[in-house]
Amino acid sequence: MNILEISKEYNTKAKCIAKLEKLRWGNSVICPYCSSKRNRKVKSEIGRHSCKSCKRSFTVLVDTIFESSRLPLPKWFMIIGLVLNAKSGIAAKEIERNIGCSYKTAYYVAMRIRIGMLMPDTKLNGIIEMDESYFGGKARKKHKIPDSDTSIGGETISLKRGRGTNKVSVAGMVQRKGAVHTQVMEKLTKRNLLAMLKHYASKDNSILVTDGFKSYKELETYIDRLEINHSKSFSKGIVHVNTIEGFWSAIKNGIKGSYKAISKKYLPFYLVEFEWKFNHRNFRGNQLDDFLKRAVTHEKELLYWKAESTQEVKEVAYGK
């Protein structure tokens, strides 16, 4: 849905509440505290219900990304539309200008929306590409800057390019014509890459395609592997990692164009956003509805913000 359609269809709190209740509960209101269906409407507030079993009142916003937010729900829906439709990402300052809220509110809501984009892990199969990428500032000579000062996408950081850099390393896996998964890695060791592979990939009827990075050789103990030698060519029939490299390009162009620079701490949330958009590239349904179905199942706890890798973010979100 575009912003004009969202502003017309969800221009009141009552309409937004009704939509969320339908997506979360269907025809029967369920208490989020005790799961009882015995409740009644509270007339003094739109969307509020009182549970007859545990005697607590609640709304559909309890235990969702919308809980405890003072921003009106119609504005929430418009910001969601902006984020979903921005294929290369949208900065909080741009949301601030378009919606008329403060920068702090725009940033806070955008982060919660990214939490709503978390999806359950699905096993990849078939032809799977695996590659790593490095996120940080442009390489500069002479000046040395400590790792603790690393930002991503900025112009002032002095870092070596490629393997052996102190930039943030991220490993990614993509199924041809399928989904993508990423994970921030402190070290690109054989052990860490194998653990990621086992977590995301099904080895039955699957083939892994990688480049010649030595740490990938250990993965042959788990799955059949094909290797492309980039010193000779970038593609040889089905043997290439162009799909995952295209995904890295989309992320880096989005960071450089929309966000300018982001911190290592919050990189996992931006990775989640780009994963969502890549995995929905062929989605032809109502993406707003699809997002809201997931958003009403994610709690608003900002414990997520302290996670240092995409995998930790997902583990916290799904209670693993």
pLDDT of 156: 44
Q: Are strands 124-135 and 168-175 parallel, antiparallel or unpaired?
A: antiparallel
Consecutive H or E run containing 262? strand 262-263
Short-list 243, 242, 261, CA closest to 252: 261
Which pLDDT band holds residue 234 (cuts at 50, 70, 90)? Answer: confident
Spatial strand order of the sheet with 168-175 comes to: 180-185, 168-175, 124-135, 201-210, 224-227
Q: Give the span between the Cα atoms of 247 and 13, in whole angstroms.
A: 37
> How far is 183 from 272, CA to CA, in rounded Å?
10
Q: What DSSP line would sit under 147-185, residue for residue?
A: GGG-EES-SS-----STT-SSEEEEEEEETTS-EEEEEE
In whole angstroms, how large is the CA radius of gyration of the chain?
22
Backbone angles phi, psi at 286, to 5 degrees: -85, 105
pLDDT for residue 158: 45
> What mean pLDDT, rounded, does the chain reach?
86
Domain positions in the chain are 3-116, 124-280
- Tokens 């921003």 belong to 71
Which one-letter DSSP state was computed for residue 239? Answer: B
Interval 50-81: pLDDT, tens: 999 999 999 999 989 999 899 999 999 999 99
Q: Which residues of 265-302 are buried (b: 16+ CB within 10 A; e: fewer)?
A: ebbbbbbbbbbbbbbbeeeeeebbeebbebbbebbbee
Given phi > 0 = left and psi -120 to 50 = alpha, else beta, which region is 129?
Answer: beta
pLDDT in tens, 296-307: 876 544 444 444
CATH of domain 124-280: 3.30.420.10
DSSP string computed for 33-61: TT----EEE-TTSTT-EEETTT--EE-TT
The tokens for 103 are 């920068």
Q: How far apart are CA 29 and CA 22, in angstroms?
A: 9
Q: Are 52 and 40 in contact (CB under 8 A)?
A: yes
CA–CA separation, 314 and 118 (whole Å):
7
- Give the closest residue to 61 by CA, choosing from 302, 313, 291, 300: 300
Per-residue pLDDT band for 311 (boundaries 50, 70, 90) equals: low
Give the tens place of pLDDT for each residue, 99-157.
999 999 999 999 999 999 988 778 999 999 999 999 876 655 555 555 555 556 554 44
116, with CB counted inside 10 A (0-12, 13-18, 19+), is buried
Dump pLDDT digits (tens) for 183-227.
Answer: 999 888 999 999 999 999 998 889 999 998 899 998 998 999 999
Q: Select the more confidently predicted residue: 233 or 163.
A: 233
pLDDT of residue 122: 84
At 125, give phi and psi (nearest 5°). Answer: -150, 175
Bridge partner residues of 224 (DSSP): 207
Residue type, 186: E
